[in-house]
Amino acid sequence: MTKLLKLAIVMCVLPIGCAQTQVSSEQSPEAREVKTVVEQFYKLDTEGAWLVPERWHELTDFFTSVQSWPPDDPVSVLKSYRVGDAKKSVVDGAVNYEVEVDYFVWGSINSFLRFTRAELSKGKSSSAGEPVERVSHKSLSLTDSFVMGGPIWNEEKTKGTLRWRMNGRGGSSDVSVDAAIRWVTEMRDKSNDPAMKYNAERTLAILRSLSAGAPVPKQPVLTGTAKESPSQVAERFVDMESGLLPDQWSALAEFFVSIPKPRLNKVHIVDIVNGIVNDVDTNGVETDDHTVGFDISTNPLGELDSSLRLSNYPSIRMLPGNNNSACYGDDYLGLTLLLSEKHWQIGPDGTVKELDGPVAWRIEDTLFEPFITLDTAIRYVSQTLDKTTDPVIKKNAARTLVILRNYKQGRPLPKQLLSDSPAGCGG
């Protein structure tokens, strides 16, 4: 009987949906209940339950906080996982349980359906395309409260069923290879973006190889060398984009893998710190999937929507001499460049032309939120105010100009203009 039991445990660890381990006879009924919650979550997670908005609300049964749909995190693809026993801890009379979960991760799929191999520490990929082991420690508490979506600093607790929930913010997905295949196929079929369809086909080829028992294939070798380094491209993009008006953003097409679609309802007005327009972190490191990430250090001056209403702006423009040194330059805009030999042109009639070469660093995120400098913002709002006949836009533009000109002159805003100014650095 003992030999049969051991065999059953070994066979249950390997398949993605059968990762439970034998329950120790020493575990209390409460500890077993806690472990069951974690096991239930990972069973649903690996099946792809959270890849669709229709089931997103069910995450409140498992977490004390759930991020808004859609999630920002890439989808992780697992080979297997294992849920450990629940261990009780009592701190100041509060009972919590800790559960360790071991993952074996093949890689991840970003929102553009591009697959990236899992990495070990210091940016190194796994040897011979094997999965990377990761460990997650889940803390659970017995509660009937949770929060759903919204900014972390503005969330309100909601009452629900009293049950064991994982403390922290849930919303990312760890799925099996088969679930990933279904999801990528569905997303490919729904998309009209040629770059996403191209990524999807390459990702599906990798996933089918993994499903057949093969290791992660190596990234195809690109022929040729990019004329510009990623940092040079990033600096040139930041310099150009921050000074363009919305009707000029078509000039940015050369920087993207396909025609960019800026989200005009949220334009960030910023000061790029240190007085350097091209203040891009050039310590970006190229990863195994030919991408480089950069952080652009800024001081935010507000968010401008399509009606020229300014929100989330500070009470005073932060400059080195404003005595806000602890906050100066601590807001970052991310930029990721992809080394590729392909890009796509989309004509006014919707026709798509695929272009091969030359190899170059390009931006993958075509649905970007633009950022502009203070001078560009003043120019844009002034020109629109002069041309528009819309009374709402005229009213918003006039108010926004008063705020921006106060920043230009280095003056703090009067109290009547602080209704959309949050507290905090510069607030």
pLDDT exceeds 70 at position 280: no
pLDDT at 35: 97
Residue 322 — pLDDT band, cuts 50, 70, 90?
Answer: low
Query: Which of the two residues, 217 and 381, has the higher pLDDT score?
Result: 381
d(CA 281, CA 234): 9
Nearest to 258 by CA among 191, 354, 360, 359: 354
234 shares its domain with 113: no
Whether residue 23 has pLDDT greater than 80 = no
DSSP 344-364: EEE-TTS-EEEEEEEEEEEE-
Asked if residue 351 has pLDDT above 90, the reply is no
- Residue 2: inside a domain, yes or no? no
Contact 171, 157 (CB under 8 A): no
In order of 265, 377, 384, 392, 395, the CA distances from 389 in angstroms are 19, 19, 9, 9, 11
* Helix, strand, coil fractions of the chain, as percent rounded to 5: 35, 30, 35
pLDDT for the residue numbered 24: 45
Mean of per-residue pLDDT scores for the chain? 83
Q: Read off the pLDDT of residues 26-45 as tens digits, 9 standing for 90 and up.
A: 789 999 999 999 999 999 99
Is residue 225 in some structural domain? no
| Domain count of the fold of the chain | 2
- Give domain status of residue 262, yes or no: yes
Question: Residue 107, exposed/middle/buried by CB under 10 A (0-12, 13-18, 19+)?
Answer: buried
Token reading at 361: 């660093």
Asked whether 310 and 400 are in contact (CB, 8 A), the reply is yes
State pLDDT tens for residues 154-186: 567 889 899 999 999 898 899 999 999 999 999
Query: Do 157 and 293 belong together in one domain?
Result: no
Does the pLDDT of residue 222 top 80, yes or no? Answer: no
Give me the mean pLDDT over the 97-102 stretch: 97
From CA 406, how far away is CA 135, in angstroms rounded? Answer: 51
Does residue 211 lie within any of the structural domains? Answer: no
Mean pLDDT of 19-23: 40
Same domain for 240 and 105: no
Q: How many CB atoms lie within 10 A of CB 281?
A: 14
d(CA 129, CA 119): 10
H or E, element range at 54 = none
Per-residue pLDDT, 341: 86
109-118, 120-129, 267-276, 397-406 — which is least confidently predicted?
Answer: 120-129
Residue where a domain stops, chosen among 117, 146, 180 = 180
Same domain, 160 and 286: no
Q: What is the pLDDT of residue 126?
A: 55
Per-residue pLDDT, 77: 97
Rounded to an integer, the average pLDDT of 363-367 is 84
Considering the domain boundaries, does residue 3 fall inside one? no
Residue 133: band (very low, low, confident or very high) from pLDDT cuts 50, 70, 90:
very high
pLDDT of residue 394: 96
* Residue 154 confidence (pLDDT): 59
State yes or no: pLDDT of 113 exceeds 80: yes
Q: Model-level pTM?
A: 0.76
Determine which of 228-237, 270-279, 309-318 has the lowest per-residue pLDDT on average.
270-279
At 372-396, the pLDDT tens digits run 999 999 999 999 999 999 999 999 9
What confidence category does residue 369 fall into, taking pLDDT thresholds of 50, 70 and 90? confident
Bridge partners, residue 147, by sequence:
65
CA–CA dist 26, 283 (Å, integer):
51
Q: Counting every residue, how long is the chain?
A: 427
Give DSSP secondary structure letters for 182-226: HHHHHHHHH---HHHHHHHHHHHHHHHHHHTTPPPPPPPPPPS--
Question: Which pLDDT score is estimated for 324?
Answer: 61
Give the whole-angstrom CA distance, residue 393 versus residue 224.
Answer: 49
Q: What is the structure's pLDDT at 152?
A: 55
The residue that leads in pLDDT, 23 or 173, is 173
Q: Is residue 47 part of a domain?
A: yes
Q: Which residues, other chains included, contact 325 with Cβ-Cβ below 8 Å and sequence gap of 6+? A: none
Q: What is the pLDDT of residue 11?
A: 36
| Predicted confidence (pLDDT) at residue 297 exceeds the cutoff of 60 | yes
Are 381 and 278 in the same domain? Answer: yes
198 in any annotated domain: no
**Where among 160, 180, 200 does a domain terminate?**
180
* DSSP bridge pairs for 141: 96, 165
> Domain range spanning residue 147?
8-180
Residues 150, 257, single domain; the answer is no
Q: What pLDDT does 27 receive? A: 83
State residue 380's pLDDT score.
95
Report the b/e string of 196-217 with b at 16+ CB within 10 A.
Answer: bbbbbeebbebbeebeeeeebe
Give 170 or 332, the one with higher predicted confidence: 170
Residue 426 in domain: no
Q: Work out the number of other CB atoms within 10 angstroms of the CB of residue 21.
A: 15
270 alpha carbon, distance to own chain's centre? 21
Based on the fold, state whether residues 132 and 28 are members of the same structural domain. yes
Residue 348 has pLDDT above 50, yes or no: yes
Rounded CA-CA distance 46/15 in Å is 11
Domain boundary among 118, 149, 180: 180
Q: Is the confidence at residue 9, as pLDDT, over 90?
A: no
Q: Are residues 242 and 390 in the same domain?
A: yes
